Amino acid sequence: MKFEEIQALIPQYLAGQLTPAEVESFENHLKTNTALRIELEELRLIWQGLDLVGHEQPSVALRARFYQKLNAVTANKDAKLARAGWRNWRIGIPQLAGAVALFTLGILVGRIHITGTVSGPEIAQLRGQVEGLRQTVALSLLEHDSATSRLEGISWSSRVQRPDSELLSALLTTLNHDQNINVRLASLDALEKLAGDETVRKALEKSIPLQQSPLVQIALIDALVHIRDNAATGELRRLTSDEDVNAAVRQRAQWGLQKLSYQ
């Protein structure tokens, strides 16, 4: 085998993708070839370093939008027809919000055009109005019977920069009590982004014993690890020792405990 061919095996060797026979052959070359050893160590450093990049998370809206579409695909056609009137009204809420926001913006642009200036307080007031509008839309949608609408509400809540206690409370209620698992998962995503708020962190910890679905339990464990909530270790320990809990969840809780203990 040519030296270039042996060198080309380095990434597979580092990834553990060579067969035992190939590993043995490669390691025999390593014993006798200093240049190969040096290159392996240099490339190993880069290969391992890649572990430290590339951990970006998608936004809350991705999951919500996906389930919204999937629900639309799988929904019963007859039921769709029966609810058409309601849905048309519900779809109108975000559109109405957009229209009001545009109208408000139009007033502002008009003022700039007439006076040539716009004051800081006016901009702040406009932002406040848009923020309030988004919050109202989110709250309204979260109360709907349709899971699709509630997912839409969660998507709207993620556009609110500083949700007030009412919206936070609605999101937490959704996480703990919504009948639809995908709505609960989407609300968890939304709440994880707000975990800088101590109240939200505490509420996420308290949510663990309330969850029955392994899918949500695992997502909750992942969220608590991601936000590095060391105070959650007590609840995670309880999960690991509860025989009634799904095995995959117990395993994930164990993993979570290990992760948090490093921090």
- In the complex, minimum distance from the CB of residue 9 to another protein, in angstroms, rounded to a whole number: 8
Minimum Å gap between C-beta 205 and another protein is 18
Report how far residue 189's alpha carbon sits from residue 61's, in angstroms, rounded to the nearest whole number.
9
Report residue 43 CA to chain centroid gap: 33
CA–CA separation, 192 vs 226, rounded Å?
Answer: 9
Q: Would you mind telling me the total number of residues written for the chain in this entry?
A: 263
Token digits for 256?
A: 């979570």
- Rule CB under 8 A: is residue 55 a binding residue for another protein? yes
CB atoms within 10 A of CB 197: 14
> Which of 207, 226, 221 is closest to 249 using CA atoms?
221
**By C-beta, is 44 or 202 nearer to another protein?**
44
Q: Identify the helix (H) or strand (E) that includes residue 6.
A: helix 3-7
- Are the CB atoms for 255 and 233 separated by under 8 Å? no
Q: How far apart are alpha carbons 164 and 155 in whole angstroms?
A: 16
Instruction: Indicate which single residue of 108, 181, 245, 257 sits in contact with another protein (rule: CB under 8 A).
Output: 181
∠ CA 12-252-228, rounded to 5°: 95
Residue 1 binding another protein, by CB under 8 A: no
| Site map 194..233 versus another protein, x via CB under 8 A | -------------------xxx------------x-----
Instruction: Among 19, 32, 50, 121, indicate the residue that binds another protein (CB under 8 A).
Output: 50
**Considering beta carbons, is residue 77 or 113 the nearer one to another protein?**
77
25, 29, 30, 43: which one binds another protein (CB under 8 A): 43
When binding is defined by CB under 8 A, the residue of 23, 66, 104, 144 that contacts another protein is 66
Tell me how many residues contact another protein (CB under 8 A).
Answer: 58
Question: Is 104 a binder of another protein (CB under 8 A)?
Answer: no
Residues within the interface to another protein (CB under 8 A): 7-12, 15, 17, 35-36, 38-39, 42-59, 61-63, 65-67, 69-71, 73-76, 79, 180-182, 185, 213-215, 228, 246-248, 259, 262-263
